Amino acid sequence: MLFRSGLRVCIVDDNGTNRTLLQHFADLWGMNYVSTESGPTALHALEAAHKRGASFDLVIVDQHMPGMDGFELSRHIKAQPDFAPMQIVMVSSFGRRGEVGRAKESGISGYLTKPVRRDHVYRCLTQVMGRGPSEENAQDGREQPPIVTLHTLREDEARKRVRILVAEDNIVNQKVAVRMLEKIGYRADVVGNGQEALEALGRIPYDVVLMDCQMPEMDGYEATREIRRREALSVKREGSLGNSQIQMTNDQKQNTLHVPIIAMTANAMKGDREKCFEAGMDDFLSKPVKIEVLAVTLVRWITKREEGEDREASGVKGEAETREVDNEPHMTKDTQRDTNDEIRTPSDEQRDPPLDMATLDGMRELGGDDPSFLSEVIQQFLQDGSRHLDAIRQAIGNGDAESLMKAAHAFKGSCGIMGANALAKHCFSLEQKGREGQAENLEDVLRELESEYSRVQVALEAELANLPTVST
């Protein structure tokens, strides 16, 4: 049971058969319900329950009723402060154009059309009741969530069928990427390097791969090139079968399709997009990735893949069977970092605060109802921070420019996610030094990095003190 047993529900419908069906559902799910046949009697029942101190949690209302229809009843309910926290789900016989908009304006959280199916009602109520009292969102200034409809339920079901692979070696980045995907309705598997990504793709026909570019053992570029090589061999092998009697399973056929690979990189430097596309990647996201941009990007490439499967089934070939490299990457004003801003270090200007609190608040919101999420991410960042610093110190001590570049780059990605922007700038400066082949005489830069990390550490530990304790 995804919503609590004992939920108090008021069922409002002038049709006895419809009321009986909804009552049957309520009995199955352990709900306490009152059934009424009109808007006025429903309002009387709501008032009586409130006076007894047993207010209803939910009202399921028919749209078309004589006298006071479902819209008018909903507006009456939402106009009374004592009733406003109740969630309302409307059931309509017609599903006329524009009714969903009217329902949302009337304060309704869910809208279903008849004949109602038990699974549709259950999933709708699960989503609606999972939001908490509706007035809380309005009072704290948050935008009301979208209304639940049959269309959104089907979209959610489709998202659950999508298989996403995240290839990322940084544990902080892994946690945040998986939580973002869960937040927008997807589930994902995680691997730590390109070699593991190849092995995972050999077992499971993923629909999308989110590929970090800089990983140990095998980076994202090399892994992508190998994936594309294997796809080309599979297509060639399938074609050579001709009209033989050998049959391929659906998963085997899907493995021969072009899997969309979306690059995720903290570089955001000129030429990175081209390097990703040359390796065979399809799109490019700059870290820290915004959840809205990630959602749009996934829908776009999942849709393209599904269109490709439809053409494969029908024997129709189209442009989507070849990699499209002319798409604009999602590095808009909102997502692209200004390279000039990154090159400046805090010592060049007034010192920035250790943490961008808006970013941290976004991380807190990403955790949703799980207050431990932010605690886990902060603790992981602090744990990894010491390791990243040691790797940078060792690279400088050994005069190893390539190791310095990789270590500073890895630390920079985590800093951006946590909102430690000044620390990220120091990391970027060291990364650039390593990229230019310089790893000596950097003691002053290293001291600045260590000083800034100390500031970030103090700020995060203060934040952690106010959060639930998480055992490591």
Give per-residue pLDDT as tens, 83-107: 988 999 999 987 777 889 999 999 9
Q: Residue 39's CB: how many other CB atoms inside 10 A?
A: 24
* Residue 4 pLDDT: 67
Q: First-to-last CA distance in the chain?
A: 30
Bridge partners, residue 58, by sequence: 9, 87
CB 221 within 8 A of CB 228: no
pTM across the whole model:
0.67
pLDDT score of 374 more than 60? yes
Distances from the Cα of 222 to the Cα of 165, 166, 213, 320, angstroms: 16, 16, 9, 23
Give per-residue pLDDT as tens, 33-71: 999 999 999 999 999 999 999 999 999 999 999 999 999
Rounded CA separation 418/364 (Å) = 11
Return all residues near 5 (Cβ < 8 A) that are at least 6 apart: 29, 30, 31
Distances from the Cα of 371 to the Cα of 143, 145, 173, 221, 472, angstroms: 20, 20, 18, 36, 16
Over residues 429-444, the mean pLDDT reads 92
322: burial class by Cβ within 10 Å (0-12, 13-18, 19+)? exposed
Give per-residue pLDDT as tens, 382-417: 999 999 999 999 999 999 999 999 999 989 988 989
pLDDT score of 241 more than 60? no
Amino acid of residue 425: K
13-17, 141-145, 283-287, 377-381: lowest mean pLDDT where?
141-145
Maximum distance among all Cα pairs of the chain, rounded to whole angstroms: 84
Return all residues near 421 (Cβ < 8 A) that are at least 6 apart: 352, 356, 359, 415
Bridge partners, residue 439, by sequence: none
| Residues counted in the chain | 472
Residue owning tokens 């690059």:
263
Rounded CA separation 42/19 (Å) = 13
CB 366 within 8 A of CB 416: no
Strands 58-62 and 8-12: parallel
Distances from the Cα of 466 to the Cα of 44, 188, 363, 372, 470, angstroms: 45, 30, 15, 11, 12
Give per-residue pLDDT as tens, 353-363: 899 999 988 89
**What are all long-range contacts of 13-19, with beta carbons under 8 Å and residues at least 24 apart?**
13/37, 13/60, 13/61, 13/62, 13/65, 13/91, 14/38, 14/62, 14/65, 14/66, 15/62, 18/62, 18/91, 18/114
* Residue 268 pLDDT: 58
Rounded CA separation 432/418 (Å) = 21
| DSSP one-letter string for 446-460 | HHHHHHHHHHHHHHH
Confidence band (pLDDT; 50, 70, 90) for 238? low
Per the prediction, the chain carries an average pLDDT of 83
Helix (H) or strand (E) holding 58: strand 58-62
Ramachandran angles phi, psi of 268, nearest 5°: 50, 40
* Residue 308 pLDDT: 59
